[in-house]
Structure 1
Amino acid sequence: MPAPLFAAILSWVFLGERVRVETWAATLVVLGGIAIVFWDGLARGTWDGDLAGLVTALCLAGNFTILRHRKHIDMVPATALGGFIAAGFLLVIGAAAPLAPDGRDWLVLAVLGFFVVPVAFGLITIGPRYITAPEVGLLMLVETVLGPLWVWLALGERASALSLTGGAVVLVTLAVYFTWRLRGPRGVAAAQSSG
């Protein structure tokens, strides 16, 4: 997903935040890795999902930019309220016959709804207080790369060699970028001032 690129552009245009050169470089390399992952999907003709992913990336980037702009406001309660509204809506719609979950599905949904999603979105909501919107977008790409791994572990659907290559590009780039940011002169100074 190009969320980091969109977030960098939106932060620059609307917040006047200067995006560091190394952030632009990491974003472009990571997008190359994501393009490799999605090339496999495009070859299979899954354009609908790719278009939905593009729109989602733009919405996420806008969300990160707004959260960064109003970082003094705690938006975790609003995120929780949105989750409860969505859960209530899906509970009513999901109870319809073709979509009705069975016993095991309810357990999975409960774990997702009460633990995984609230913790994940709570941390995503807090993230822009401390790092830039493009950096939050970069971190979120770990989920894009690890998604096929979880699908393989849970459903036995193996990722292609092309997808694994793209994922490796993303993970190595993010590891190098964030290690450099934490250990570089700016990262050390920020850690000392907060400690």
Structure 2
Amino acid sequence: MTRSRAMLALALTACLWSVGGVFIKSVEWNPLAIAGARSAIAAATLFVLLGRPRVSFSWPLLGAAVSTAACMLLFVTATRLTTAANAVVLQYLAPLHVAILAPKFLGEPTKPRDWAALAVAMAGMALFFWDDVSPDGKLGILLALGSSLAFAGIPLCLRRLGGRGGQTEAVLLGNALLALVCLPFYFQGSPPDMKGVGALMILGVFQTGLAYYIYTRAVQHVRALEAMLIPVIEPILNPVWVFLFIGERPSLHAAIGGLIVLGAAAVQGVLAARGK
């Protein structure tokens, strides 16, 4: 896979991740049960896509698996204990963590243009969620910060695997782990109806399984920070689907913030694809 195709693959990953908000709203069930069931379906999807997974255990593989499970679990829990906007904005501090850690952890330098793109993207994100961010839910805020660290750990550990392979297997293992952790919550409340089951299938197969399959292929051909900065468009795209399918219109400054984030990601992607 060329760097240009890897950038397009990361953008496609962000698009697949972004439909989560629309379909999760269609499932009437415990949020942790939704997260676990989605990951169980995703793990099965990744198993099928891989054909015959070969897991060679190493600390980067286990790190990526634990980071994947922790990221999704902490994010779902954070959204229950603070506002969804808080959880999203704080989770997407992950590129900042990667920018700080990648030079030492991977030997991948953070360039001046990376810091500029990161600053612009974070400013756009803050503007996008300006109306909804609040200081409410301190525990949820702490969990969201933990989610951002776990999110950063995914590309860092996947990149550390390097030529040894096992990137997709690591994410498969992480989803299977989360499915097991959430097992007790499957029996709380009534199970989802057929509409909810259909939404869970879409979430598991496409929004998580296929998305991570594409992501783990792309991350092998880009720097860890690029693997974080391009998908930062995901929370911006989420309200687009909500607008198209539900009719909720974003505010003017949210639209401006979204355009800023999309612009920063696009410029970063083009420069990275050209090897600059």
Query: What is the TM-score normalised by the length of structure 2?
Result: 0.59
Q: Which residue of 156, 160, 172 corresponds with 1:65?
A: 156
Residues 35-59 of structure 1: CA deviation (Å, up to 9, x unaligned): 1123222259576665544332221
Work out whether residues 168 and 217 of structure 2, in 8 Å CA contact, stay in contact via their aligned partners in 1.
Answer: yes
Structure with higher Rg: it is 1
Task: Return the structure number with greater relative CO, CA threshold 8 A, min gap 6.
Answer: 2
Q: Using a 3 Å threshold, how does the CA distance of structure 1 residues 47 and 172 change in structure 2: closer, same or farther?
A: farther
Q: Using a 3 Å threshold, how does the CA distance of structure 1 residues 50 and 143 change in structure 2: closer, same or farther?
A: farther
Q: Which residue of 97, 120, 127 corresponds with 1:36?
A: 127
Q: Which amino acid aligns with 1:74?
A: G
Partner of 1:122: 213
Superposition deviation, residue 81 in structure 1 = 3.0
Q: Which residue of 152, 167, 172 corresponds with 2:258?
A: 167
Superposition deviation, residue 8 in structure 1 = 1.1
Q: How does 1:1-195 map to 2 (within 5 A)?
A: 1-43=92-134, 51-72=142-163, 73-87=165-179, 90=182, 93-97=185-189, 100-183=191-274, 186=275
In structure 2, list runs of 5 or more residues that go unmatched. Answer: 1-91
**Inter-partner Cα distance in structure 1 for 2:242 and 2:135:** 18
Greater helix share, 1 or 2? 1
**Inter-partner Cα distance in structure 2 for 1:46 and 1:127:** 36
**Inter-partner Cα distance in structure 2 for 1:164 and 1:50:** 25
Superposition deviation, residue 32 in structure 1 = 0.9
Residues 96-126 of structure 1: CA deviation (Å, up to 9, x unaligned): 225x211100011012112321111122233
**Inter-partner Cα distance in structure 1 for 2:186 and 2:176:** 15
Residues 130-163 of structure 1: CA deviation (Å, up to 9, x unaligned): 1111111111111111011122233333322222
Query: What is the TM-score normalised by the length of structure 1?
Result: 0.81
Q: Using a 3 Å threshold, how does the CA distance of structure 1 residues 146 and 11 change in structure 2: closer, same or farther?
A: same
**Inter-partner Cα distance in structure 1 for 2:118 and 2:175:** 29
**Inter-partner Cα distance in structure 2 for 1:60 and 1:38:** 20
Partner of 1:191: none
Work out whether residues 40 and 162 of structure 1, in 8 Å CA contact, stay in contact via their aligned partners in 2.
Answer: no
Work out whether residues 230 and 269 of structure 2, in 8 Å CA contact, stay in contact via their aligned partners in 1.
Answer: no
Q: What percentage of aligned pairs have identical amino acids? A: 33
Q: Which amino acid aligns with 1:160?
A: S
**Inter-partner Cα distance in structure 2 for 1:164 and 1:51:** 28
Work out whether residues 71 and 128 of structure 1, in 8 Å CA contact, stay in contact via their aligned partners in 2.
Answer: no
**Inter-partner Cα distance in structure 1 for 2:272 and 2:223:** 12
Work out whether residues 2 and 57 of structure 1, in 8 Å CA contact, stay in contact via their aligned partners in 2.
Answer: yes
**Inter-partner Cα distance in structure 2 for 1:140 and 1:46:** 26
In structure 1, list runs of 5 or more residues that go unmatched. Answer: 188-195
Q: Which amino acid aligns with 2:158?
A: L
Residues 63-121 of structure 1: CA deviation (Å, up to 9, x unaligned): 211111222222212312332343455465234225x2111000110121123211111
Work out whether residues 94 and 101 of structure 1, in 8 Å CA contact, stay in contact via their aligned partners in 2.
Answer: no
Number of aligned residue pairs: give it. Answer: 184
